[in-house]
């Protein structure tokens, strides 16, 4: 079995053959890897791959589905190579096909529950200004100079990851920044990627439908740091976060950072928050006797933390504080506390916040900006962690004056059932309005808004769709606001 797979790897290295994990993409002569998924086993699709012309099928040995598939393979005249872990087989074949073990790119990972997207955008700005050619793989898009595509996943599958890194390398990209999700780590999507460094932004409740508990969630995130190649790699970890402090105990070489002074006897980047308001934040950094300051238009303490994440990782990968002035002109990311301009002069913000902690951070930022009345339109995604739903309600009840509960992406759940899960968390809310239709909810919230207040529309951010019963319908919070305020 090992000898057969080694020969297949060599075939991939020589080129002229493609690797697929989606039977619908298979063409004649391809290698099809039957990856077991969360909902479906890829072995079920072996007959379709064979019919499409697959020359080789990689699958686990044994099992009734494999037996049925074997008959299909024999009938189709293609070869079977067994591997105990098809996920591992997939990334190893991807690495061989795209020669990503020999890249000339410095690949940096950003992981954590919140702040990944803003941090990767900031890193892109910083390294570009420092003269590097930069590529980014993240929640909003996969992009590098001359190429950009919408991202269906925060971190794509290994075939996409390795192929895009190779394409970046071919056009001279020398720094690639990746958002790395916990799902991606667990499912081996980034295995084989030659990471030069990684940063942890924070760890708060999310994805417990997948990881089951915070301990499992933490262990998955920690793998990215603990399994980095043994050579000296850059690591930056948020010491303000309790899970970050635990990770620091496991990673003695990591640079810690935070808005609080750091643990004793450890290299720590302290960001002293001098001011934070509607105009942005002012930070004074302290590290090993050096100090420097940064004024950013980004609003909120959570963005101050993002700025520290980026500086810490940049310092560990060779940049100097003198180069950090590039961060001062960065005005933000689409759907991250994004102000929707309008002729009425109303303060309307759209944000991707879809976890309890993210909602707290954004609402605290708005509260600290001095708005007299904060209205929040929010919901919870369907077929995701149900336990966080009342916690989302509690966050809004605590920091907003009016809670407008509505649909997010209900997926295959009934929207009304999702709202019922959220409502217990809103018991202490000052005022609650329930409207299942998101557009109607936004209209009602706008009717309540005056120029001294702020409206936060949370949960979807940059997304331009709403998923209902598995179907994507075009929907953009920004577009809806502009239409309702007649400024489209």
Domains of the chain: 2-96 (3.40.1390.10), 102-329 (3.40.1190.10), 338-484 (3.90.190.20)
Look at strands 106-111 and 134-137 and give their pairing: unpaired
Residue 187 assigned as binding residue: yes
Residue 113 assigned as binding residue: yes
pLDDT (mean) for 195-216? 81
Residue 112 assigned as binding residue: yes
Residue 289 assigned as binding residue: no
Residue 238 assigned as binding residue: no
Q: Is the pLDDT of residue 167 over 60?
A: yes
Q: For residues 125 and 129, what is the distance between their CA atoms, to the nearest angstrom?
A: 6
pLDDT band per the 50, 70, 90 thresholds, residue 209: low
Residue 335 assigned as binding residue: no
Q: What is the pLDDT of residue 369?
A: 87
> Which of 183-187, 342-346, 365-369, 420-424 has maximum average pLDDT?
420-424
Q: For residues 445 and 335, what is the distance between their CA atoms, to the nearest angstrom?
A: 18
Residue 154 assigned as binding residue: yes
Q: Is the pLDDT of residue 22 over 90?
A: yes
Residue 408 assigned as binding residue: yes
Q: For residues 86 and 30, what is the distance between their CA atoms, to the nearest angstrom?
A: 16
Residue 189 assigned as binding residue: yes
Residue 325 assigned as binding residue: no
Residue 79 assigned as binding residue: no
What is the tens place of the pLDDT at every residue in 379-428? 999 999 999 999 999 999 999 999 999 999 999 999 999 999 999 999 99
Residue 460 assigned as binding residue: no
Give the CA-trace dihedral at 469, 474, 477, 478, to 10 degrees.
Answer: 170
Look at strands 347-351 and 374-378 and give their pairing: unpaired
Residue 384 assigned as binding residue: yes
Residue 382 assigned as binding residue: no
Residue 118 assigned as binding residue: yes
Residue 21 assigned as binding residue: no
pLDDT (mean) for 134-163? 95
Distance of CA 471 to the CA centre of its chain: 22
């Amino acid at each position: 079995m090992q000898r057969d797979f080694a020969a297949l790897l060599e075939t991939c290295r020589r080129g002229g053959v493609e690797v697929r994990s989606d039977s619908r993409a298979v063409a004649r002569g391809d290698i099809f890897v039957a990856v077991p998924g969360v909902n479906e086993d890829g072995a079920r699709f072996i007959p379709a791959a064979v019919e499409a012309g697959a020359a080789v099928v990689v699958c686990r040995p044994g099992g009734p589905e494999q037996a049925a598939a074997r008959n299909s393979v024999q009938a189709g005249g293609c070869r079977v190579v067994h591997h105990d872990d098809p996920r591992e087989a997939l990334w190893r074949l991807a690495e061989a096909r795209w020669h990503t073990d020999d890249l000339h790119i410095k690949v940096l990972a950003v992981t954590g529950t919140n702040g990944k997207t803003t941090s990767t955008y900031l890193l892109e700005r910083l390294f570009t200004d420092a003269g590097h050619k930069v590529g980014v793989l993240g929640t909003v898009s996969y992009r590098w100079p001359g190429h950009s595509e919408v991202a269906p996943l925060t971190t794509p599958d290994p075939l996409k990851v390795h192929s895009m890194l190779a394409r970046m390398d071919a056009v001279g990209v020398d720094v690639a920044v990746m958002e790395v999700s916990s799902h991606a780590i667990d499912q081996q999507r980034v295995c084989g990627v030659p990471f030069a460094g990684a940063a942890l932004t924070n760890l708060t409740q999310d994805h417990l439908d997948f990881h089951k508990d915070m301990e499992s969630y933490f262990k998955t995130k920690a793998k990215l740091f603990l399994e980095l190649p043994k050579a000296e790699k850059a690591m930056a970890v948020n010491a303000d976060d309790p899970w970050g402090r635990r990770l620091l105990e496991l990673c003695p070489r990591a640079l810690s950072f935070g808005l609080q002074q750091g643990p004793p006897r450890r290299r720590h980047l302290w960001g002293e928050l001098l001011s934070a308001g509607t105009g942005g934040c002012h930070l004074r950094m302290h590290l090993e006797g050096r100090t420097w300051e940064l004024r950013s238009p980004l609003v909120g303490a959570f963005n101050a933390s993002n700025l520290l994440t980026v500086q810490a990782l940049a310092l560990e990968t060779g940049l100097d504080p003198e180069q950090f002035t590039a961060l001062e002109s960065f005005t933000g990311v689409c759907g991250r506390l994004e102000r929707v301009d309008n002729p009425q002069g109303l303060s309307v913000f759209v944000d991707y916040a879809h976890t309890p902690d993210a909602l707290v951070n954004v609402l605290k930022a708005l509260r600290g900006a001095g708005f007299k009345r904060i209205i929040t339109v929010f919901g919870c995604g369907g077929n995701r962690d149900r336990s966080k739903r009342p916690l989302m309600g509690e966050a809004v009840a605590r920091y907003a004056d009016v809670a407008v509960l509505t649909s997010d992406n209900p997926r295959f759940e009934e929207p009304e059932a999702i709202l019922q899960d959220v409502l217990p968390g809103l018991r202490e809310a000052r005022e609650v309005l329930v409207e299942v239709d998101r557009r109607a909810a936004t209209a009602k919230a706008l009717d309540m808004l005056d120029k001294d207040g702020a409206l936060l529309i949370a949960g979807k951010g940059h997304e331009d769709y709403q998923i209902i019963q598995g179907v994507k319908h075009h929907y953009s919070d920004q577009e809806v606001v502009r239409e309702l305020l007649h400024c489209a």
